[in-house]
């Protein structure tokens, strides 16, 4: 590795993510011990949450920059002066630096707000990232146009609570208004909406989605459970029956809508009956994609002190049962998408197919969000002239349980 500075952007909100972050830092510490030129910088949520512990336990780290310090990193590197400033509280305003370094992929995340005012009893995020604070609307629009200038084709609007966008600055949500303003780009053709809490899914949102042809019929709506008792203990609202009604309505008003959600299994007090209610809910809801998480007791959260902890073995069994159920639902829903022509955003050209003159490409169909919903692998004539960053018509032939496979069916098109 030639780099002089290695920056590790960490996640620190559940046990598995913390462990992954720590393992990466330890691997780099080992590398550093073999080559003393390298400097290790740790930033992100783990750095914010565990500043003192990291400083004490891993002396190989040269700089720990929590989320309030992450934007000082470049300046400190320029001066070659990495100095820890101690643990700090999360920032009160949204620190906005639109002109960031992008990967060579044709999509980007556009964060519209940071922090969270919800107090889900299992979640450490509000403690780590602070209260909900929006980026001013003109800054979000400016950033979208900057991404457009860089050739980005797809933007994914994100926040911890995306639908709440604007409440802190303007006293009301301006999310739908924002959607209406995100038009007139040279390159951006897809806008995807992620992490919208169920209570922000309403007529106004649907009208705004339909009113902007760039907005994909795709929604990621975190639901977390179906049992009203568990939802209440989680500090969340509603019941499975409310969510089923919402899903049925969404499928009525946008017939081709793709729905993703996340669910936690093994929350304290989750009985066999509660889990059964969740299973029945997942069966009926038929989400296209579902992220399933095993409950992780996080220090400092209300849920970590709740009685009725579910045994690790039961949590694993429930996780596997629900995963198997959702796999069959996702398979069926995705198999229904084969045999058709659809738009695919090409992310990479991956070479020539063995023993043939066909080129291979990796991309995502419009119903696949980046990083979570798999890929679409495409073959095309080696002379087809298709390049990464183009959206191409693709004949989708097969779904293999994770990814789609297909052939180029036309040139770039919307």
Q: Which residues bind ligand SF4 (CB under 6 A)?
A: 116, 118, 120, 123, 125-126, 160-161
Least distance in angstroms from the C-beta of 331 to ligand SF4: 28
Q: Name the residue nearer to ligand SF4 (CB basis): 176 or 301.
A: 301
Q: Name the residue nearer to ligand SF4 (CB basis): 106 or 266.
A: 266
d(CA 159, CA 176): 14
Q: Name the residue nearer to ligand SF4 (CB basis): 25 or 196.
A: 196
Q: Name the residue nearer to ligand SF4 (CB basis): 303 or 344.
A: 303
Q: Could you tell me if 381 and 410 are in contact, meaning their C-beta atoms sit under 8 angstroms apart? A: no
Burial 148-186 (b: 16+ CB within 10 A, else e): beeebbbbbbbbbbbbbbbbbbeeebbbbebbeebeebe
Residue 117 burial (10 A CB sphere; 0-12, 13-18, 19+): middle
d(CA 134, CA 115): 9
Least distance in angstroms from the C-beta of 389 to ligand SF4: 32
Residue 205's nearest CA partner among 262, 169, 163 is 163
Q: Name the residue nearer to ligand SF4 (CB basis): 121 or 376.
A: 121
At 398, which helix (H) or strand (E)?
strand 391-399
Least distance in angstroms from the C-beta of 3 to ligand SF4: 32
Q: Which residues lie closer than 8 Å to 116 by C-beta, 6 or more apart?
A: 123, 125, 126, 129, 131, 132, 160, 161
Q: Name the residue nearer to ligand SF4 (CB basis): 90 or 389.
A: 90
d(CA 379, CA 147): 29
DSSP code at position 235: T
Least distance in angstroms from the C-beta of 168 to ligand SF4: 14
d(CA 5, CA 63): 10
Least distance in angstroms from the C-beta of 160 to ligand SF4: 4
Residue 288's nearest CA partner among 372, 214, 363, 209 is 372
Strand 154-158 with 190-193, pairing: parallel
Q: Name the residue nearer to ligand SF4 (CB basis): 67 or 125.
A: 125
Least distance in angstroms from the C-beta of 290 to ligand SF4: 16
Strand 39-44 with 358-365, pairing: unpaired
Least distance in angstroms from the C-beta of 132 to ligand SF4: 8
d(CA 313, CA 217): 38
Q: Name the residue nearer to ligand SF4 (CB basis): 22 or 123.
A: 123
Least distance in angstroms from the C-beta of 50 to ligand SF4: 18
Residue 158's nearest CA partner among 107, 206, 207 is 107
Q: Name the residue nearer to ligand SF4 (CB basis): 188 or 292.
A: 292
d(CA 309, CA 226): 18
> What is the Rg, in whole angstroms, of the alpha carbon atoms belonging to the chain?
22
Q: Name the residue nearer to ligand SF4 (CB basis): 301 or 379.
A: 301
Least distance in angstroms from the C-beta of 126 to ligand SF4: 5
Least distance in angstroms from the C-beta of 143 to ligand SF4: 22
């Amino acid at each position: 590795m030639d780099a002089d500075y290695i920056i590790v952007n960490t996640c620190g909100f559940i046990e598995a993510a913390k462990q992954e972050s720590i393992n990466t830092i330890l691997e780099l510490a080992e590398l550093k011990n073999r080559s003393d030129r390298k400097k290790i910088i740790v930033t992100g949520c783990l750095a914010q949450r565990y500043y003192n512990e990291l400083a004490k336990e891993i002396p190989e780290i040269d700089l720990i920059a929590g989320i309030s310090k992450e934007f000082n990193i470049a300046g400190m590197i320029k001066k070659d002066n990495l100095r820890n400033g101690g643990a700090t509280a999360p920032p009160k305003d949204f620190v906005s630096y639109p002109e960031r370094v992008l990967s060579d992929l044709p999509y980007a995340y556009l964060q519209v707000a940071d922090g969270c005012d919800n107090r889900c009893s299992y979640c450490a995020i509000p403690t780590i990232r602070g209260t909900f604070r929006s980026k001013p609307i003109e800054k979000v629009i400016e950033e979208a146009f900057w991404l457009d200038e860089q050739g980005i084709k797809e933007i994914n609007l994100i926040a911890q609570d995306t639908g709440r966008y604007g409440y802190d600055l303007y006293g009301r949500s301006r999310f739908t208004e924002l959607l209406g303003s995100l038009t007139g780009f040279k390159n951006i053709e897809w806008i995807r909406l992620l992490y919208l809490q169920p209570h922000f899914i309403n007529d106004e949102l649907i009208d705004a989605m339909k009113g902007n042809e760039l907005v994909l019929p795709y929604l990621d709506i975190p639901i977390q459970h179906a049992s009203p008792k568990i939802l209440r203990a989680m500090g969340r609202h509603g019941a499975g029956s409310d969510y089923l009604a919402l899903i049925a309505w969404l499928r009525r008003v946008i017939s081709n809508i793709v729905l993703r959600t996340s669910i936690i299994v093994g929350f304290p007090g989750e009985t066999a009956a509660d889990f059964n209610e969740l299973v029945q809910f997942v069966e009926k809801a038929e989400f296209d994609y579902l992220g399933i998480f095993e409950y992780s007791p996080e220090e400092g959260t209300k849920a970590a002190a709740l009685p009725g902890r579910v045994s690790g073995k039961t949590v694993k069994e429930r996780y596997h049962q629900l995963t198997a159920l959702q796999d069959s639902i996702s398979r069926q829903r995705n198999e229904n998408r084969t045999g058709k022509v659809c738009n695919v955003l090409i992310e990479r050209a991956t070479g020539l197919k063995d023993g043939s003159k066909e080129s291979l490409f990796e991309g995502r169909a419009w119903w696949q969000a980046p990083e979570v919903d798999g890929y679409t692998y495409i073959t095309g004539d080696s002379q087809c002239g298709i390049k990464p960053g183009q959206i191409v018509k693709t004949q989708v032939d097969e779904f293999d349980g994770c990814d789609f496979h297909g052939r180029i069916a036309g040139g770039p098109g919307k």
